[in-house]
Structure formats: C-alpha cells, structure tokens
A and B are shown apart, each in its own frame.
Chain A
Amino acid sequence: MNNFPFLRLPDEPQQEVFKTVDILELISFSLVSKKSKTIAKSQNRQITFAEITVSQYICLEVQDYTNDDGMVADFYEKEEAYDDYDDIFDENFDGQVEDYEGPVALTKPESASASSGFEEDDYTWTKPEFELHDWINHILTVLHHQKVDVIFRNNYTRFDVNSVFEALSKAMPIKSLVMYNIGRITREIAHQVLDVFHSTDSLDLCKKPYQDSISNRKVLMRNYNEIIINEVITCDDLLSINSFNIHLAGISNYSEKFFNRFLKFWILGSNPRMQHLLIQDLSQNNAIEDNETFLNAEDILEGIHYTEVSRNRRKVFDDRNLLVKGGYDIMRFDGTVATLTVEEYQIGGCKIDLFVWP
C-alpha cells in the first residue's frame, strides 16, 4: 500500500500532519484541490515577508524568519536566461543582455518553478487556469499574508511595466516598491515603474531615479509611509521629503552642518509629516584609523535651543517599540517635541535618529 487515505483521518490528525511540514510542502499540498487549500490555510501558518522580484523572470519569495523557513517560486523562467542576481554588485557589469526580447506583455505562466531556496528541491507546479495574480493570491492567502514588496532589482525586465502592474494590481496590495541599481541599463524603466507603481506604502531607492533634481523632488515629495534612500542626498532633497519615516542609508558622509541646517528648518516647520528620521552613516569607518571624531551631537545642535536628557530616561517610540534612551530634546515652533540621538557603531560609522513625539 503506497498511498495513504488522508481524508479518512479524523480532523485533529489531519491538522497535525501539516503542522510539521515546510512552507514548500504546505503550498504544494494546497494546490491539489479546494479542500486541500482549506486544510492548508487552516494551519494559520504566518510569514515574515513576501516579495516579488521583476527581472528577466518574475519571482515570488516568501520567508518566515522566526522558523527559518521559506520558498521561492519563479515564473516565466527561461533556462538560458541570464541570471542578473549574480551581477547586482558587479560594478563592471555593463547591463547588456544578449537576445533581449522585451518588453513583452505578461501572459498566463505555463508553470511555477518552486524551491525552498536552501536545498536542491525544485518542484514544477502547473495550474493551467492560473494567471500570475492567481498564483500570488493562492500562495499568500494560504500563508495569511496581505501585502507584498515589489522589487525591480536590476532595473531590467523583459516584461512590459504596465502589464506587470496590471497583473500585480489584481494580487495583494503592494506594500513597498524597491528599486536597486537604477541607471545600470537605462533610467527609462525606472521612470516607468515610478509612474505606474505610484501608490505604494513605501519606496526604497538605491539611487536617485532622475538625473535632474526637479524630477527627483517630485518623487521625494510623495506621501509614502516610509522612504529609504541609499545614496547621498542634499539637504534640500531631505527637506522636500514628505514621508512619515525617512531612512537614509549607506556611505553618505553627512556633516554636522548638514544636520544643523536640516534641524533649523524642521524647527521652522519643514517636513511636517515626518515622524522618524534615521540616518545610518557607514562612511566613518576610517575615522578610527584617522583618529577623527564621529559626528558630535552638540555641534549638530549649534545655535539650537535643546535640553540634554539622561540615558536613564527611556521612552518607547511608536508601534515598532523603538526604545529611545536619553538624547537631546528640541522643540518645533508649534510646541512639537523631538529627540535627537547619536550613536556610534563599534565597527565605525554612526546612527542618527530624530524621533518626533506625537
């Protein structure tokens, strides 16, 4: 007897069987029938994130960091396709892709190539009636996840951007739009993507998408919940950002003068929607060797009325439960209080936070 009468088991053992399987097997099981989907969904399996990467093919990745479990499903994969993942950090990559056939409109995927991402366990799933959004909705519904991040990793896609947007719009709402390596092939696609995917919760930019500052400002001025920029921006750029949470990362070399100017404008009323500014400046790695000092909070606050607070004062910031220890309280013209903290990283570099209290 090589088969097992699963559905003849009582309800509890039926549930128990799929409590122990990996996400990949759970989804594979859920694709068998409506009944198996219901059983899989009732497991109440949760994931940390879901992201869709659009490049030469379209990839849905889900991860459960708590349990070190996850899966990747690739659609429209071509065996001979150039794998642009390998070249994300290759500065010499000229972005030329042989036999580029794009942009092409999305059609029904013939199949999905799925794997756990950790082992050599590739599955080919076929579901002839499924459009791309059906695949995404099916997987994310079983995993009780309501939103996805969309990543244009290499600013390259053989798919028509409007067609991708149309398909993803029928799937789960897009939480975050991530655009890496803008400019590697052409900025044209980046512009299209920003035009078409205009109402996401957050935007993560590796580089400024436009070469002229006016066009860039138009993007920065959008009302995102969070904007992440991994490239040096000017103080004027920062002043034009309209997002609740602003995260500037990477090697940025911001000076005390930069922050001082920004804070003075904030006190006068600029960036009224801003709730949290986080700057992770890794550019000071050499400071230890050069015996230079890190950014100094008191220099940042020169000419600004502030109150230094003991590190014993601990306040929890918003629903992310960020613990703010001490810092420097400053006040905007309308009485709104913000706390500035400057923290050195042991490996070099520093982290600057400005928490605006509600």
Chain B
Amino acid sequence: MSVENAPVVDVDEAAIPVEKKMYYRFESNDKKEFRVSELAIQQSETLNRLVEAMGYTSEDVENKPAIAIENIDGKTLKLVFQWCEHHKGEAIPVDDGSVPKIVEIPEFDAKLMDIDNGLLFKLIWAADYLNIVQLLNVSCKKVANMAQGKTPAQLRRVYLLPSDEEDEAAKRAAQEAQDPRAREVEEEFEERKRQGGNSFF
C-alpha cells in the first residue's frame, strides 16, 4: 500500500501527552534568582513539600515573585541547585540507621565540593535545612575525610574543638553571664544536691 493510499485518521492533539517541563523560581537571601526544574526540586524534601503546598501553575511561576529562601546565600544556593539538577531523578537514599554508613563521593560531587571549608560549612547547613539527604551524606563524608590520619591533637585543630578546660571555662562564663538570681538558685540547688537532699522545695 502506497503512502498516498493510506487511510487518514483524525488525531485529537489534546489527547497526546506533552512532556511539559515545570520550573520554579527561587531567590536567595542576597537576591540571586534561580530557575530549578521540578524533578531537581524532588531531591529536597523541604522544597518539594513547599511547592506542592503552593500548587503553582507555570503561569504562577512567571507572574508571582520568586520563592524566597531567606537563610541561604546565592553562592551556596547555586551549589545546592547545581547538585540537585545533576542528580535529578535519582532515588533518595533511605537511612536504615546502620553504622558505619558507606558513602562514596562521585566525581561530579567531588568537583562541586572543591571549595573552601567556609563554603562547605554553608553547603552542609543548607543540605540539612533543605533536607537533601544525599547531598548531606556526601558533604558530611567530605568533612569526615578530614579526620583521616589525624591524631587527637591534629583533630582538635582541624575541627576547632575546645579542650575540656576550655569547655569548662566557657560554661563558667555562661553561668556568670546569667541573671544573678538564677545563678543563686542554681548554686543553692547544687548545694542541696551535694548534701543529699531529694527535693529542692
């Protein structure tokens, strides 16, 4: 049968599913705007719930103001969304609570996290806040790798950990900064505890 003689079928174009990519607009606390795909947003439990709750259409996205993320700056948010776009559609790992946790850092993530520790800190903070499980896993793994081959003294310097004496001093300073009456009550309570009393009153 030739092409010319083929039967003509009317096609209802509206019935054909059209893959329509949905994007959302977000704004960092320093007013940087980002367009992020719906699929990428699914990596963040927090943002995914937020956009679901908003129920925006494509028109709404264009006409309404960008969704503000007030406690993350543009530099950090750029890294977060780059990560989400690269890993969009990937399954979100479920933490079964077992330790040690096996986490591999893929090449893309390693390059993305080739940043100074200040920005890495912000990235972890953002991953935790936005609940992006795998980004939190890999970024924490990068921090864990800093411990490799380190003695306790070196770890103290790397992780800026105070010694017990410094902790005690900080605790004392905090107590001294307290309201004097509250401090008196606390001291009285401690004294009664030392004397073996069961009840403060």
Contacts and interface: CB of A to CB of B under 8 A. Distances in A.
A121 B116 CA distance: 26
B185 to A, nearest CB: 26
Nearest to A16: B140
Contacts of A22: 100
B99 A43 contact: yes
Contacts of B147: 21, 25, 28-29
Interface in A8-29: 8-10, 12-13, 16-22, 25, 28-29
Contact of B164 (A8, A33, A44): A33
Nearest to B162: A33
Interface stretch (B26-34, B120-128, B187-195): B120-128
Contacts of B140: 13, 16-17, 19-20
A34 B167 contact: yes
Interface in B66-113: 99-103
Contact of B160 (A6, A19, A35): A6
Main secondary structure of the interface of A (DSSP, over half): mixed
Contacts of B198: none
Interface residues of A, number: 37
A6 B140 CA distance: 10
Main secondary structure of the interface of B (DSSP, over half): helix
Interface in A22-61: 22, 25, 28-29, 31-36, 43-45
B152 interface: yes
Contacts of B200: none
A45 B161 contact: no
B19 to A, nearest CB: 36
A20 B105 CA distance: 12
B95 to A, nearest CB: 9
A118 interface: no
B162 A20 contact: no
A20 B103 contact: yes
A35 to B, nearest CB: 6
A7 B152 contact: no
Given A28-B151, A35-B167, A20 B146 contact: no
Contact of A19 (B101, B152, B155, B156): B101
A4 interface: yes
A35 B143 contact: no
B143 A124 contact: no
Nearest to B102: A20
A316 interface: no
A3 interface: yes
B117 A125 contact: no
A35 B125 CA distance: 21
A226 B161 CA distance: 45
A76 to B, nearest CB: 19
B167 A3 contact: no
B136 interface: yes
A6 B159 contact: yes
12 contacts: A4-B158, A4-B160, A6-B160, A9-B125, A13-B136, A16-B137, A19-B101, A32-B156, A32-B159, A34-B167, A35-B162, A125-B151
